[in-house]
Amino acid sequence: MTDTSPPPPPAAGNLDYRVAHLAERLATGDLGELGVRLELRGDAVLLTGTVPSTQCRDDICHLAREELAGHPVHCDILVAGTSSPDHGEDLT
């Protein structure tokens, strides 16, 4: 007999573990990103912080969605402005 019922939803403890694993992967992996925080909001995960480029932000959001598949991931990551000023500062 084949069980055709859907799998049970992931346990909250499992999500905690997956979020911690992702945070470690972000900090120690190729991205080496320490400026991103991950917060559990119910069964969703919120990513916040600042990164140096849009490519870095996109890579982190993509990685988070892969790693936390089955849970909503909200990326609220800002890109730091690294361009040089377009005018001099007036000191009076």
pLDDT digits (tens, 9 = 90+) for 2-60: 656 555 454 455 889 999 999 988 888 777 777 889 999 888 999 999 988 899 899 99
The candidate with the shortest Cα–Cα distance to 14, out of 63, 69, 61, is: 69
pLDDT value at position 65? Answer: 94
The candidate with the shortest Cα–Cα distance to 72, out of 29, 39, 50, is: 39
* The model scores a pTM over 0.85: no
Q: Within 13 Å of residue 23, how many CA atoms lie on the same side as its CB?
A: 17
